[in-house]
Structure 1
Amino acid sequence: MDLETYFDRYAKEQRFDLVGSVCGMEMKEAHTIVDKWLRAPKLRPGQPGSRQEFDMLVQSDHAGHERYVEWKSVGSSMLAMLMSMSVGG
């Protein structure tokens, strides 16, 4: 399994869809700020520079499998609707 498969499983188990809908957001498919896997190695073993890339990753505080999530607004949130109902009486 690749890392994206594990992340998809995690997002499903942690109900990212529900959290997003409560906040009026959903996960963006295409990232516009940072790569989904910003610190993942880009080079394959044996490619020029791959050893240096690996050494830098090992020396950093990152594991290389940190996944970034970008969200987009999709309208009013469930939270806002509930708050307006309670204020309205």
Structure 2
Amino acid sequence: MHVLFAELSPDDPQRMDARYLQLSEFWNELRTCGDSGATTWEVLDALETEITECLYRNPPDIDRAMSLTARAALMIAGFTEL
């Protein structure tokens, strides 16, 4: 039996597209629901601006954008000791 492992490289266009989609869906849903949870829109707006800047870099810093989005999710959930 032969086992073949195939993974997408971090720079693979399909993987990058999927990560962009995850980021955009999170922020679009957040704006749609309009609830900033345990934080404020001022804090979330600052994070969103930083994420946008990460994505406009050449090459895009998707890892940082994902990390900042995870931080936003934790802040919304009430985890303020970050």
Bucket of the pairwise TM-score, normalised by the shorter protein: under 0.3
TM-score normalised according to structure 1 size: 0.26
- Is the strand fraction higher in 1 or 2? 1
TM-score normalised according to structure 2 size: 0.27
Larger radius of gyration: 1
- Is the helix fraction higher in 1 or 2? 2
